[in-house]
Amino acid sequence: MITRRFLLFSIAAAGSGLNIFAAAFAQSYPSKPIKLIVPLPPGGTIDVIGRLVAQHLSSRLGQSVIVENRIGAGGTIAIKAVATADPDGYTLLFGTSGSLAISPALYRSTEIPNLLPVAATASNPPLLLAVASTVPAQTVNDVIALAKASPGKLAHGSTLGSPPHLVVEFFRAKTGIDIQHVPYRGSAQAIPDLLGGQIQIIAESMPILMPFVRQGKLRPFVVASKTRERELPDVPTLTEIGLDGFPPETWTGILAPVGTPPEIVSKLNAAVNATSQTAEMTASLAKLGFHAESGSARDFAALVATDARKWTEVVKLIGVKVD
């Protein structure tokens, strides 16, 4: 069952049987520095967002929030470190849809420990699928026709197992076309090859690809969003062309060990939401191409559970395997 491989998303599981001592402890929280574990290396976008959140939470909670990077195994190492920590609110995970929803689908043999969702922090703009301007295709139907006319001749490039990789594989599987995947460490390496003609198709977030679209170097043909994007009113969504089922965005959020008292979860959730609603945080995230998110712990739990199911279906459909 899916629920055995994915995180525990029941808020009711937090602190059942909380006694008077635990309630008093939660009232005084936090009384010492908090550790926020990030499952990715320092310097990347997710790490930067994690440090922004930590900085703002430090100000609101009156205690230092220290970022610690634990990388490896698709985020599983970081997840296990938090899952086995004391459920006292002093060790938290800065989770991503990659580590919490995608990795469990890709690494099927890996057991993902239970965690307790606390609050969503940010979401990434939708992925845009595009071809180089030298490719003789103007629309999504042109891309499909070109691929069918020359099976195996078109190639796309992205990091193996990443959302950009999976969205193009989803497009391939749903349309029945034959295109090749060329693995790259990231879009910084893939885009030059795309412009140079070594690959023909790419998927990335809109903030990364739009400068090339405006310069006429890339031609977008479909967007993985809920509705059409204001900047690209003529570009259809995956749903519009009949390809339902791909998660429309990636996200980040904070999670705690199971058993963390609900009072602490509530206090952290309120602090994260207050931070997300500030103009400073909104502007900082916008510069990184992200949107600030807020909501209850239950809202975040529902998002993670829903996307975990969706990513499982996507991976099963496209047949991607990662060792």
Share of the chain above pLDDT 90, in %: 72
- pTM for the model stands at 0.81
Write the secondary structure of 135-185 as one string of H (helix), E (strand) and C (coil).
CCCCCHHHHHHHHHHCCCCCEEEECCCCHHHHHHHHHHHHHCCCCEEEECC
Two structure tokens written together for 92? 């938290």
> Which pLDDT does position 13 carry in this prediction?
45
> Which pLDDT does position 11 carry in this prediction?
42
pLDDT tens for each residue of 219-262: 999 999 989 999 999 999 999 999 999 998 899 999 999 999 99
DSSP letters, 210-222, are HHHHHTTSEEEEE
pLDDT tens for each residue of 47-73: 999 999 999 999 999 999 999 999 887
Whole-number average pLDDT of the chain: 90
The structure tokens 């879009």 sit at 187
CATH topology of domain 2-124+250-318: D-Maltodextrin-Binding Protein; domain 2 (3.40.190)
Q: Give yes or no for residue 112 having a pLDDT over 60.
A: yes
Cβ count near 100 (within 10 Å): 29
pLDDT tens for each residue of 7-19: 544 444 444 444 5
Q: Matching CATH topology for 2-124+250-318 and 127-224?
A: yes
What are the boundaries of each domain within the chain? Answer: 2-124+250-318, 127-224
CATH 1.20.20.10, applies to 127-224 = no
